[in-house]
């Protein structure tokens, strides 16, 4: 892939921050810190060309309005804009019930000018990864070592030293674990987790369809779990496209993946109805196991956790990466503020500020997504009735609806500077 050129692997050395894990969160964090002048080394075990390939990850991410501001602030949006489909409306429905919830972006006005921005954007992960690699390669402050595996991290009194699998050694004031839900560094630091697996799998794929989607994201609750149809930008040939996130019983998902394209499209049409006209599957399908995880601490001596290493949530509300990007914005602010005051960026003070800032928001979403998944995955008649009335009531109460919309946009609470659209 010509636009991807990770810098040549450095022979090892020292920097201000070591980011372990160069996924969407780790690379975004590196850009935020590098943009503020800190020297950052990112270590990731994937080969960048493989991780940015179309076949690596079939996911598209719902990027909340607040998160899009973080991506703008770290200089990524120019490359992403043409791949980003604005979400103008969200329509939530429960099976065949006639009660529904409809979010219209024009109902939320932000800022002094009272603009009504989109609720967020849908962007395919392959485009986010490519933009991240290109932006990282253009920043002299950032060194990406990939593919490279971190074997051992020693957290000493005044610094951390890392040993890579190929024997290279690195030194930094602070290590940040963005190494995913199984985070080896979280485990090595002795940080416990609360976790469970859902008996559900997330099937994802892209579809093309006859009718335009008009920027409407659909979430339909079915017996096995939520079924989401997320609008994508039209293809270059004008084909209308969407991304599917289909929660299915884990034991049934393998059979669904084996269906022919025609049978699979028919299953989608049967669940979603005729809203988009005829549907065709476009490209491969993926299936992800789903689970919940919350770390008991987000920080330890000279170590901070960010992204899925700190929390993993059900994709029911499309908020996992958004939580991670809010970690990025808050952690970068804590570190940069400490550096500007001449303080040790790996000190307990800077890290504890980050932990206090992020835990409430993350814990709330962990609980809300888990509760919603349980509530909408049951077929008990009284529960169905109660939740359908709930959808109808929220839909009929504009102030409550606006509050929920602001939450979904990531514009509630003590917002970090990058989310407010300000420089670090």
Distance CA 155, CA 171 (A): 10
Q: Least separation, in Å, of the C-beta of 396 and ligand FAD? A: 27
Strand-pair partners of 245: 204, 228
Q: DSSP code of 316?
A: G
22 sits near ligand FAD (criterion: CB under 6 A) = yes
Identify the residue among 6, 24, 132, 229 touching ligand FAD (CB under 6 A).
24
Q: How many CB atoms lie within 10 A of CB 380?
A: 8
Cβ closer to ligand FAD: 62 or 80?
Answer: 62
Longest dimension (CA), the chain: 64
87 sits near ligand FAD (criterion: CB under 6 A) = no
Instruction: State the burial class of residue 197 (Cβ atoms within 10 Å of its Cβ: 0-12, 13-18, 19+).
Output: exposed
CB 306 within 8 A of CB 295: no
Cβ closer to ligand FAD: 283 or 398?
Answer: 283
Identify the residue among 6, 18, 23, 297 touching ligand FAD (CB under 6 A).
23
CB 152 within 8 A of CB 43: no
What residues from 239 to 298 belong to the interface with ligand FAD (CB under 6 A)? 245, 288
25 sits near ligand FAD (criterion: CB under 6 A) = yes
| Interface region with ligand FAD, contact rule CB under 6 A, candidates 30-38, 44-52, 270-278, 383-391 | 44-52
Q: Least separation, in Å, of the C-beta of 381 and ligand FAD? A: 29
233 sits near ligand FAD (criterion: CB under 6 A) = no
Q: Least separation, in Å, of the C-beta of 242 and ligand FAD? A: 13
Instruction: State the burial class of residue 381 (Cβ atoms within 10 Å of its Cβ: 0-12, 13-18, 19+).
Output: exposed
40 sits near ligand FAD (criterion: CB under 6 A) = no
CB 92 within 8 A of CB 226: no
Q: DSSP code of 149?
A: -
Collapse the DSSP code of 150 into the 3-class scheme (helix H, G, I; strand E, B; otherwise coil) and give the result.
Answer: strand
Cis check for the bond before 147: say yes or no (omega within 30 of 0): yes
48 sits near ligand FAD (criterion: CB under 6 A) = no
Cβ closer to ligand FAD: 124 or 333?
Answer: 124
Binding mask 161-200 for ligand FAD (x = CB under 6 A): -----------------xxx---x----------------
Distance CA 287, CA 290 (A): 9
Identify the residue among 128, 191, 253, 321 touching ligand FAD (CB under 6 A).
321
CB 107 within 8 A of CB 398: yes
Cβ closer to ligand FAD: 68 or 93?
Answer: 68
Q: Which are the contacts of 15, defined by CB distance < 8 A and separation ≥ 6?
A: 38, 39, 40, 41, 143, 170, 171, 172
Cβ closer to ligand FAD: 311 or 387?
Answer: 311
362 sits near ligand FAD (criterion: CB under 6 A) = no
411 sits near ligand FAD (criterion: CB under 6 A) = no
Of the candidates 301, 308, 307, 306, the one whose C-alpha atom is nearest the C-alpha of residue 350 is 301
355 sits near ligand FAD (criterion: CB under 6 A) = no
What residues from 291 to 320 belong to the interface with ligand FAD (CB under 6 A)? 307-308, 315, 318-320
**Residue 96 has which token pair?**
């065949």
149 sits near ligand FAD (criterion: CB under 6 A) = yes
Identify the residue among 70, 204, 265, 300 touching ligand FAD (CB under 6 A).
204
Collapse the DSSP code of 374 into the 3-class scheme (helix H, G, I; strand E, B; otherwise coil) and give the result.
Answer: helix
Site residues for ligand FAD per CB under 6 A: 20-26, 43-46, 59, 61-62, 149-150, 178-180, 184, 202, 204, 245, 288, 307-308, 315, 318-322, 324
């Amino acid at each position: 892939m010509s636009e991807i050129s990770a810098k040549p692997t450095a022979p090892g050395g020292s920097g201000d921050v070591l980011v372990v894990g160069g996924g969407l969160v780790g690379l975004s964090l590196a850009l935020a810190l590098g943009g503020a002048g800190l020297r950052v080394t990112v270590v990731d075990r994937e080969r960048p060309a493989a991780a940015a390939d179309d076949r690596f990850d079939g996911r598209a991410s719902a990027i909340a309005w607040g998160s899009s501001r973080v991506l703008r602030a770290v200089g990524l949006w120019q490359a992403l804009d043409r791949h980003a489909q604005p979400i103008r409306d969200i329509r939530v429905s429960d099976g065949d019930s006639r009660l529904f919830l409809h979010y219209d972006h024009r109902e939320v006005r932000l800022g002094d000018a009272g603009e009504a921005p989109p609720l967020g954007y849908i962007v395919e992960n392959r485009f986010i990864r490519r933009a991240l690699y290109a932006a990282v390669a253009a920043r002299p402050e950032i060194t990406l070592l990939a593919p490279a595996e971190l074997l051992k991290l020693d957290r000493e009194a005044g610094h951390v030293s890392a040993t890579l699998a190929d024997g290279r050694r690195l030194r930094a004031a602070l290590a940040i674990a963005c190494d995913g839900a199984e985070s080896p560094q979280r485990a090595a630091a002795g940080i416990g987790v609360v976790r469970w697996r859902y008996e559900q799998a997330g099937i994802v794929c892209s579809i093309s369809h006859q009718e335009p989607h008009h920027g409407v994201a659909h979430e339909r609750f079915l017996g096995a779990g939520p079924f989401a149809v997320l609008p994508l930008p039209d293809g270059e040939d004008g084909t209308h496209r969407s991304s599917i996130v289909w929660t299915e019983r884990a034991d049934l998902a393998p059979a669904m993946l084996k269906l022919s394209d025609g049978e699979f499209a028919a299953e989608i049409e049967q669940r979603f109805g005729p809203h988009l006209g005829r549907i065709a599957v476009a490209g491969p399908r993926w299936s992800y196991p789903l689970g919940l995880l919350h770390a008991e601490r987000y920080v330890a001596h000279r170590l901070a956790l960010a992204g899925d290493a700190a929390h993993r949530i059900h994709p029911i509300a499309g908020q996992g990466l958004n939580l991670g990007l809010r970690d990025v914005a808050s952690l970068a602010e804590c570190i940069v503020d400490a550096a500007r005051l001449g303080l040790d960026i790996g000190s307990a003070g800077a890290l504890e500020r980050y932990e206090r800032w992020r835990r409430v928001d993350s814990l709330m979403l962990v609980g809300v997504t888990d509760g919603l998944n349980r509530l909408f995955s049951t077929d008990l008649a009284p529960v169905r009735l109660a939740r359908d009335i709930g959808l109808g009531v929220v839909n009929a109460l504009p102030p409550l609806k606006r509050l929920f919309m602001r939450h979904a946009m990531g514009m509630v609470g003590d917002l970090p500077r990058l989310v407010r659209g300000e420089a670090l």
